[in-house]
């Protein structure tokens, strides 16, 4: 990822400055470096908010934005000896031209300069409960400022959560972000195709296939197209492992006749993709596998149709559940003599035995991206109901109204663990189909369909 002075970072900082008011100040560190063990660190990944406002990917950096629209960056100083070991540092002298910030200092000056920057501000904004120890740092700077009160300093009266305005800004993806997300989605889609084809080809050649072989194919495709890393731990789940929702790619044997569920997406220049496909290891779905697969796909079709500007965030989930509930009765996963009609299945949440997660989440810089799931214009409106399954009192709030530029996943599934009354031919089948959608004025754009979802189309590509 290269550091570049592009106008949208400055535009985002200006929008934030307008939000915090002329006497506000916002303080934002990037992510900390994390030790893995002894002399090894985890690969550094910048903080998403920080990158959103700066495009800067070095560690040990802070942004200070004041309500008059001025930005100060604190970053690592140039240090030839350290750069020989760790690589290039931009340094404070080059930062204004490279990043479009107004001023830059060495991060070593943070504690001496922050009290002065905070002087005479009415509110200090920083992200709450996201950076360990940040509140203590801010406390220290405010304390230093207050200690100079006899010299006429004025300490901010308010501390405000910076996540609020930044979450709202990040929820609507601009044209640049949408373009990046389309590119990330395309790379990931091709990686899924590659893993499917490799799986069938290896089995045809009589070779042993393990989950890690397919994980390697995904990574190969991500990296060769410039993705920095997977956006989250790839799930490659063979057979019954697909019924473990947070399974990770491991060493499980991929068996002829079983399904493989892959939930994997790359991160490209700070933006995530998130795709799930479930395919037959040998390239041909069995009857029961295809029956459940088509049910999940029909439920996804219903969710896609419900994803449009003006709809609620919960509409795709409700559409999914309606199709799955009817389908579970039709295919015999649920017994209507025991659970009743489709309305009863929904009302009593009987489908939950086989479908126990939500149908989507916001997607962006973070795979589970930020942004309120309740509608801000209806805050304070609540209704209460008793959950039929648990008996707990649930407080419902109006769900977010979808707007063009919001990006979300659509990911229904069915997971069949063996149990009393569960038809044996469905045992241990786990299926999820997940695509990434940009909400548009008239519906939604699926960015991830370079890997097909139709069962026949998947079989066809696996023959290739």
Question: Which residues are designated catalytic?
Answer: 39, 246, 263, 274, 357, 361, 368, 411, 415, 432, 434
236 touches ligand GLY (CB under 6 A): no
**Binding marks (x or -) toward ligand GLY, 118..137, rule CB under 6 A?**
--------------------
Among 263, 267, 315, 459, binds Mn ion (CB under 5 A): 263
Residue 210 CB neighbours (<10 A) = 17
**Residue 366 within binding range of ligand GLY, rule CB under 6 A:** no
Which lies closer to ligand GLY via its Cβ, residue 325 or residue 367?
A: 367
CB of 304 to ligand GLY, least distance (A): 16
The binder of 315, among Mn ion, ligand GLY, none, by C-beta within 5 to 8 A per type, is none
- For position 409 contacting Mn ion by CB under 5 A, the verdict is yes
Residue 261 makes contact with ligand GLY by CB under 6 A:
no
CB of 324 to Mn ion, least distance (A): 17
Minimum CB separation of residue 234 from ligand GLY in Å reads 9
Q: Does 366 bind Mn ion (CB under 5 A)?
A: no
Distance CA 367, CA 273 (A): 7
Among 367, 408, 410, 453, binds ligand GLY (CB under 6 A): 367
Q: Report the site for ligand GLY in 408-447 (rule: CB under 6 A).
A: 411, 434
> Can you tell me which residue has the tokens 């997977």?
230
Count residues near ligand GLY (CB under 6 A): 7
Tell me how many residues contact Mn ion (CB under 5 A). 4
Structure token digits, residue 167: 């979450």
Q: How far is the CB of 367 from ligand GLY (least distance, A)?
A: 6
CB closer to ligand GLY out of 336 and 358: 358
C-alpha pair distances (Å), 216 with each of 204, 238, 255, 257, 374: 19, 15, 18, 22, 39
Q: Report what 232 binds from ligand GLY, Mn ion, none; CB cut-off 5-8 Å by kind.
A: ligand GLY
Cβ at position 409, least distance to ligand GLY in Å: 6
- What residues have CB less than 8 Å from 179, skipping those under 6 apart? none
166 binds ligand GLY (CB under 6 A): no
Q: Are 99 and 56 in contact (CB under 8 A)?
A: yes
Of 246 and 338, CB closest to ligand GLY: 246
By beta-carbon proximity to ligand GLY, the closer residue of 289 and 359 is 359
* Contact flag: residue 263 with ligand GLY (CB under 6 A): yes
**Closest CB 267 distance from Mn ion, rounded Å:** 13
Interface map 293-332 toward ligand GLY (x if CB under 6 A): ----------------------------------------
Residue 101 binds to ligand GLY (criterion: CB under 6 A)? no
Contacting residue, 8, 128, 212, 232, with ligand GLY by CB under 6 A: 232
Output the CA angle 199-188-366, nearest 5 degrees. 130
Residue 75, contacted partner among ligand GLY, Mn ion, none, CB below 5-8 A by kind = none
Interatomic CA distance for residues 323 and 296, integer angstroms = 8
Contact between 177 and ligand GLY (CB under 6 A)?
no
Rounded to the nearest angstrom, the gap between the alpha carbon of residue 131 and the centroid of all alpha carbons in its chain is 18
Residue nearest to ligand GLY (CB): 263
- 274: contact with Mn ion by CB under 5 A: yes
Strands 229-230 and 235-238, bridge-based pairing: unpaired
With binding defined as CB under 6 A, does residue 369 bind ligand GLY?
Answer: no
Regarding 436 and contact with Mn ion (CB under 5 A), the answer is: no
In the complex, the smallest distance separating the C-beta of residue 264 from Mn ion, rounded to whole angstroms, is 8
Nearer to ligand GLY, 9 or 271 (CB): 271
Does residue 274 bind ligand GLY (CB under 6 A)?
yes
CB contact burial 138-176 (16+ within 10 A = b; e otherwise): beebbebbeeeeeeebebbeeebebbbbbbebbbebeee
Q: Interface with ligand GLY includes 44 (CB under 6 A)?
A: no
Q: Is 352 in the site for ligand GLY (CB under 6 A)?
A: no
Contact positions vs ligand GLY (CB under 6 A): 232, 263, 274, 361, 367, 411, 434
Residues in touch with Mn ion (CB under 5 A):
263, 274, 409, 434
């Amino acid at each position: 990822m290269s550091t570049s002075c592009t106008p949208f970072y400055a535009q985002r900082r200006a929008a934030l400055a307008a939000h915090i008011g002329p006497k506000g100040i916002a303080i934002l560190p990037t992510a900390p470096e994390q030790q893995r063990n002894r002399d090894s660190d985890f690969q550094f990944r910048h903080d998403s908010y920080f990158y959103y406002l700066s495009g800067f990917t070095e560690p040990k950096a802070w942004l200070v934005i004041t309500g008059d629209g001025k930005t100060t960056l604190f970053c690592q100083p140039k240090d030839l000896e350290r750069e020989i070991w760790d690589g290039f540092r931009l340094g404070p002298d080059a930062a204004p031209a490279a990043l479009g910030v107004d001023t830059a200092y060495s991060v070593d000056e943070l504690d001496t300069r922050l009290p002065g920057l905070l002087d005479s501000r009415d509110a200090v904004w920083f992200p709450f409960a996201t950076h360990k120890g940040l509140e203590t740092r801010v406390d220290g700077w405010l304390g230093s400022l207050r200690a100079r009160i006899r010299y006429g300093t004025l300490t901010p009266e308010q501390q405000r959560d910076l996540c609020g305005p930044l979450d709202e800004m990040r929820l609507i993806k601009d044209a640049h972000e949408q373009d990046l997300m389309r590119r990330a989605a395309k790379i990931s889609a091709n990686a899924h195709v590659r893993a499917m084809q490799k799986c069938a080809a290896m089995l045809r050649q009589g070779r042993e296939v393990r989950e890690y072989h397919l994980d390697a194919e995904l990574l190969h495709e991500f990296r060769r197209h410039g993705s920095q890393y997977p956006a989250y731990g790839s799930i490659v789940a063979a057979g019954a492992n697909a019924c473990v929702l947070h399974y990770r790619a491991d060493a499980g044997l991929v068996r002829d006749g079983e399904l493989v569920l892959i939930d994997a997406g790359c991160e490209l220049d700070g933006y995530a993709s998130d795709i799930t496909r479930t395919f037959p290891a040998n390239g041909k779905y069995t009857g029961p596998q295809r029956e459940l697969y088509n049910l999940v796909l029909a439920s996804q079709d219903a969710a896609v149709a419900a994803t449009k500007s003006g709809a609620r965030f919960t509409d795709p989930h409700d559409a999914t559940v309606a199709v799955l509930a009817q389908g579970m009765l039709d295919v015999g996963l649920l017994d209507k003599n025991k659970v009743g009609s489709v309305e009863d299945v929904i009302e009593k949440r009987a489908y939950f035995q086989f479908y126990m997660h939500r149908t989507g989440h916001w997607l962006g810089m973070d795979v589970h991206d930020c942004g309120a799931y309740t509608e801000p214009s209806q805050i304070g409106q609540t209704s209460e109901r008793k959950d039929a399954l648990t008996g707990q009192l649930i407080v419902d709030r109006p769900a977010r109204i979808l707007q063009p530029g919001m990006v979300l996943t659509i990911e229904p599934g069915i997971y069949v663990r063996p149990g009393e009354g569960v038809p044996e031919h469905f045992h241990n089948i786990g299926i999820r189909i997940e695509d990434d959608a940009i909400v548009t004025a008239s519906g939604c754009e699926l960015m991830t369909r370079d890997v097909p979802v139709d069962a026949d189309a998947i079989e066809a590509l696996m023959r290739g």
